[in-house]
Amino acid sequence: MASYKLTEEGKEYLEKGLPEKNLVLLLDSMPQKTATLGKLIPKIKNFPIALKWALEKGWVMKKGDEIILMKPVPEEIPEEEALKKIAKGKEVDEEILKILIERNLVEKVTETYKAVEEALAKAGNVVEVLTHELLVTKLWKGRKFKPVDVVTVRKKLELNKISPGKRQPYLQFLSQIRKKLAEMGFIEMRGPTIETQFWNFDALYQPQNHPARDWWSTYIMKYPKFGNLPKKFTQAVKKAHEKGIAGSTGWGYRWDPRIAMKLMPRAHGTCLSARTLANKPKIPGKYFAIARCYRPDVIDASHGVEFNQVEGIVLGEDVNFKHLLGLLKQFAEEIAGAKDVKFIPDYYPFTEPSCQLSAKHPELGWIEFGGSGIFREELTKPLGIDVPVLAWGLGIDRLAMFKLKINDIRNLFSKDLNWLRRS
Amino acid sequence: MPTIEASYQDLCELIGRRIEIEELKELVNFAKCEIEEVEGDSLKIEAKDTNRPDLWSSEGIAREIRSRAFKPSFPEYEVKSSEVVVRVDKKVSKVRPYTVFAVVKNLKVTPAFLSQMIQLQEKIAGSLGRNRKEVAIGVYDFDKIKPPIKFTTVKPDGIKFIPLDFNEALTPREILEKHPKGKEFGHLLAGKKEYPIFIDARNEVLSLPPIINSEYSGKVTEETKNVFIECSGFNLKFLMPALNVMVTAMADRGGEICSVKVVYPDKTIVTPDLKPKKTFVDVSYVRKISGLDLSLDEICKLLEKANYKILKKGKKIELLYPAYRNDIMHQRDVVEDVIISYGYNKIRPEPLKMKVEGKVSEIELKTEKVEEMMVSLGFQEILSYTLTSKDNLFRKMNLKEEKVAEIENIISENWCVFRNWLLPSLMEFFANNQHVEYPQKIFEVGDVVLIDKKQETRTRDVRKLAVAIADSKVSYDDIVAVLDAFMSLVGAKYKLKASKHPSFIEGRTAEILVKGKAIGIIGEIHPSVLENWKLEMPIAAFEIDLSFIL
């Protein structure tokens, strides 16, 4: 058989008597054995309950405002006797138990209650951890809480260190650059990681089998080896290389489509500019890309396995070299926070004129911050573009390293969780 | 980009005046050069124009500075005849078909001359000559040679001579086996039945191109008065300018250039040809591209500074330029010279006035949202290389090797394939951080490269999200809770379907489905995978293709 215990109300009645008993005892003490509601209510706790049960049991009668005692006070009241028994853990009659449960004076003892009670007993009736169960069973009441070490922090951290979620700092830096460029009116370009040499070199007027092609060393793919050439542009690019286009002499060699079809991981972001030019860009228009690039450099503190290039183009009927310098100056000021800039003649196989941007960073001093130029006509004409195209690239990794306080470019892709958590 | 060494004093002497080093640093910009290091008299200079070998030596840099900064004078070179004849045997057409020659007389060979000459020769053969394949250059003591010269071929053991820096006579085959240059460049003659050779009238060997000169005549010292220069290769288009650059540099130090008659079976050419070349530029085009409001006279003056000769002034300016230049293909090249002469830093930069609206690409906007969501769930973002090893991608993940995008010319096995999923990157990260406090909760949003035959590039980039928890106790329920929270943040309904995957524990792995399509996998990492990575903490993870929200 399940066991039962007194509720808070049950305990109160056991101690102070049932309210209906207290009512009749009070009436019995009065000379007329009667009293008005006004007199009784202040003196009897839980008066409505007392009256309800006294009426039901036929002990009193209500006449208007008067309550009249009908029977002498019984010596023994079954409910009280039952409460006493239950408090002692004894069994009681089922019928009376039903009434007591209904009156919410007695409740069934749950498994949880038993378990919590046992655990408390084991712990010397001291609360160690306040739990949901302790709150539900109310067993915390009247018990002491074991004090904890509220001063020492370290022990707690060893057990349960909280590491907040965080963005990767270099990616966050790149996000800011991305937003900045969009604010400056540039539309973001996208393109595949693995490119044909056509888009990486040929469309940029970098001749096959010429030093300009290995201007820097590049990877080639073992698998897959060859991609497709864009039919629409192949002939014009071939002509630009072989015989020249737009008044150019061309490179003067036999252009080999098989070389152009070879696949390679993108070696620079400029292939995205070439694809954009070929894909009906807006004129006037400004475009940018942050492109993951791949070159088989010797890996050291300033050369990573992979790196990101930020670059873009500006197309417009009336854009010229002065605008290119204006744009570079704006980049230096707004992105590198530079006050002073220098422009230095430079060489890229795909731009003419070409210009290097040196910016005086407030703390780093003079840094090479960008490469730029105006795309050669041998590049733009075959892709169907008849307006000048300013092309630029920014060396933002140096800036990122400065911001993130690191000296080794490889740490932009940090594998150190401690550093990431701290940064 | 060639990096060259030069003597500060020699460079000043060639320019014709003493220039403070700080000023020189500015002036070399005219030659698209940068002084990278100064150590006493020795300068390390980066020559940035890979298409202008004439600027890869002190002589060429000095020539450019003299004219741009001080006194323009069109560099014209007189070519006398040396009366020397070189006969080209038709047999060479199969091994190294072309050669061009010159004689430079009355030289005063100084240490600076020698070091610049050797350096220029090496840089041209290395860069323009693609490591001697396209252009190999030989310089000889002319007085030790008896013309006419024969350019022919011999069997690998058909002749013996003492190669440079050796003291015993070797056959060409032995040279390829024993001489350091033979070992370095021998592959250029691999598979040839006969080797090319230059021989003089006394049957003395000049050289075995493109490998090595002979000790007898192929050595230039401070005692040398007259030199004989030869370039050999496959295309006169490369050989002629290479020879021109070599001889004009020597002429700038006082040498007299003399021509050589090279007789081919089908034609005779006289080299070097230093006749200036013709080009033109339109005044309006100069103004349009530069944005500078220059008069015709101003443009002409700037062109003269850039070593052009004005033939005819007008809307279209007709010009001559020196034969050592081989880079002018379009009038755009001439425009750049005008602007460089003007001075980049004298130009007032003009702001772009273009009313256009910028935009971050959709995929990056969404990616950033995903990153922020994962951060809000308490995860640390990581960034890994997309290149990895097959070992990481397959073996350590208990997977069979499959076709992935793979690089041919790898520098390390560690970076030879493109990842086709992200989880190995996260595992590698965990393996690197075993000393760091747990729990470690990390994620990466990044691209993987998948093979896709239908694409123009046979591959396709896919943006994915991978999430993982490593802790002393971590279960499928822990990671499902994260997936569920993520999915409710992106507002997507998903289903899980019990599944099998070699990287995960069977019975604790599920496929993640969105709209009935599998988008990823979730589960507890198999302990044998953990062992492969030498990890001692359990890991639960999921990886999904983000296309469904992009």
CATH number at residue A179: 3.30.930.10
- The reported pLDDT for the residue numbered B98 is 97
Minimal CA–CA distance to A4: which of A85, A116, A117, A112?
A85
- Cα–Cα dist B210/B199, whole Å: 14
In a domain, B125, yes or no: yes
pLDDT in single tens digits along all 550 residues of chain B: 789 999 999 999 999 999 999 999 999 999 999 999 999 999 999 999 989 999 999 999 999 999 999 999 999 999 999 999 999 999 999 999 999 999 999 999 999 999 999 999 999 999 888 899 999 999 999 999 999 999 999 999 999 999 999 999 999 999 999 999 999 999 999 999 999 999 999 999 999 999 999 999 999 999 999 999 999 999 998 999 999 999 999 999 999 999 999 999 999 999 999 999 999 999 999 999 999 999 999 999 999 999 999 999 999 999 999 999 999 999 999 999 999 999 999 999 999 999 999 999 999 999 999 999 999 999 999 999 999 999 999 999 999 999 999 999 998 899 999 999 999 999 999 999 999 989 999 999 999 999 999 999 999 999 999 999 999 899 999 999 999 999 999 999 999 999 999 999 999 999 999 999 999 999 999 999 999 999 999 999 999 999 998 7
Could A413 and B130 be called an inter-chain contact, meaning their C-beta atoms sit closer than 8 Å? Answer: no
Nearest-Cα distance to chain B for A263, in Å, is 7
C-alpha–C-alpha distance, residues B24 and B30, integer Å: 10
> Number of CB pairs < 8 Å for A and B?
281
CA dihedral A180, A181, A184, A187 (to 10 degrees): -140
Contact state of A388 with B289 under an 8 Å Cβ cutoff: yes
Distance, in Å, from the CA atom of B170 to the CA atom of B179, rounded to the nearest integer, reads 9
Name chain A contacts of B440, Cβ cutoff 8 Å.
163, 417
Residues A224, B354: C-beta atoms closer than 8 Å: no
The packing angle between helices A396-403 and A169-183, to 10°, is 130
Task: Quote the pLDDT of residue A1.
Answer: 46
Question: Which tens digits make up the pLDDT trace of A310-325?
Answer: 999 999 999 999 999 9
Q: Of the residues B217, B247, B271, which one is the last residue of a structural domain?
A: B271
Give the pLDDT band (50/70/90) at residue A211. low
Smallest Cα distance from B355 to chain A, Å:
8
My answer on whether A32 and A143 are in the same domain is: no
Do A308 and A376 fall within a single domain?
Answer: yes
Q: Does A412 lie in the same domain as A266? A: yes
Same domain, yes or no: A226 and A272? yes
- In this structure, are residues A339 and A360 in contact, taking their beta carbons and an 8 Å threshold? yes
Q: How far is B447 from chain A (nearest CA, A)?
A: 9
Q: Which domain holds residue A57?
A: 4-110
Other Cβ atoms within 10 Å of B414 Cβ, number: 14
Number of domains in chain A: 3
Tell whether A27 and A175 lie within a shared domain: no
Residues B514 and B385 in one domain: yes
Cβ–Cβ under 8 Å, residues B376 and A164: no
For residue B475, the enclosing domain spans 362-548
Q: Which of B45, B70, B95 is the C-terminal boundary of a domain?
A: B70
- Whether the CB-CB separation of B304 and B74 falls below 8 Å is answered with yes
Give contacts of B447 with chain A, Cβ < 8 Å: 193, 292
B85 and B222 housed in the same domain? yes
What's the pLDDT at A154? 64
Residue A175: which of B347, B368, B418 has the nearest Cβ?
B368
Do B237 and B103 sit in the same domain of this protein?
Answer: yes
State the complex-level ipTM.
0.93
Q: Quick one: pLDDT band at residue A148, thresholds 50, 70, 90?
A: confident
B351, closest residue in chain A (CA to CA): A326
Distance between terminal CA atoms of chain A?
Answer: 63
pLDDT single digits (tens) A79-124: 888 999 888 888 888 888 898 888 889 888 888 888 888 888 888 8
Q: Are residues A140 and A67 in the same domain?
A: no
* One domain, residues B303 and B174: no
Residue B93 neighbours by CB under 8 Å, 6+ apart: none
Domain identity same for A387 and A273: yes
* Of A227-231, A392-396, B487-491, B532-536, the least confident: A392-396
Residues A43 and A119 in one domain: no
State the Cα–Cα distance between residues B223 and B246, nearest whole angstrom.
Answer: 19
CA-to-CA distance for A418 and A163, rounded, in angstroms? 10
Residues A105 and A121 reside in one and the same domain: no
Domain co-membership, B94 together with B221: yes
Could you tell me if residue B514 is left (phi over 0), alpha (psi between -120 and 50 degrees) or otherwise beta? beta
Residues A341 and A231 in one domain: yes
Q: Does the residue B355 lie in any domain?
A: no
Give the total number of structural domains in chain B: 4
- Identify the sign of the CA torsion B450, B452, B458, B461: negative
Question: Is the same domain home to B391 and B307?
Answer: no
B162 & B36 share domain? no
Same domain, B106 and B9: no
| Burial state string for B250-282 with b = 16 or more CB within 10 A and e = fewer than 16 | bbbbebbbbbbbbebeeeebebbebebeebebb
Within a domain: B35? yes
Please report, for residues A359, B194, B305, B456, the alpha-carbon distance to residue A399 in angstroms, rounded to integers and kept in the order given. 11, 56, 37, 35
Q: Is residue B170 part of a domain?
A: yes
Q: Determine the Cα–Cα distance for residues B133 and B455; give it in Å rounded to an integer.
A: 36
Which of A 375-404 lie inside 8 A of B, CB atoms? Answer: 376-378, 388
CA distances B457 to A262, A266, A280, B429, B460, Å, are 9, 11, 20, 30, 8
Out of A223, A247, A346, closest to residue B403 by CB: A223
Asked if B330's CB is within 8 angstroms of A212's CB, the reply is: no
Taking an 8 Å cut-off on Cβ atoms, the answer to whether B332 and A166 are in contact is: no
Question: For residue B212, how many other CB atoms are within 10 A of its CB?
Answer: 27
Do residue A234 and residue A347 come from a single domain?
yes
Within a domain: B354: no
**Does residue B352 belong to any structural domain of this protein?**
no
pLDDT of residue A71: 83
DSSP symbol at B437: P
- Give the residue from A137, A162, A187 where a domain finishes: A162
Q: Does one domain contain both B134 and B260?
A: yes
Tell me: do B267 and B283 sit in the same domain.
no
C-beta atoms of B29 and A223 within 8 A: no
Q: Are residues B244 and B326 both part of a single domain?
A: no
Kindly state whether residue B351 falls inside one of the protein's structural domains.
no
Check whether residue B145 and residue B209 sit in a common domain: yes
Any CB–CB contact under 8 A between A155 and chain B? no
pTM of structure: 0.86
The answer on A289 and A227 residing in a single domain is yes
Which residue type, as a one-letter code, is found at position B71?
K
Q: What is the pLDDT of residues A4-61, one digit of tens each?
A: 888 888 988 988 889 988 888 888 888 888 888 888 888 888 888 888 998 888 899 8
Which of A219, A279, A287, A367 would you mutate first to test chain B, the one with the most B CBs within 10 A?
A: A219
Q: A220 vs B457: CB contact, 8 Å cut-off?
A: no
pLDDT tens profile B173-224: 999 999 999 999 999 999 999 999 999 999 999 999 999 999 999 999 999 9
Share of chain A above pLDDT 70, in %: 96
Of B26, B46, B70, which residue is a domain's last? B70
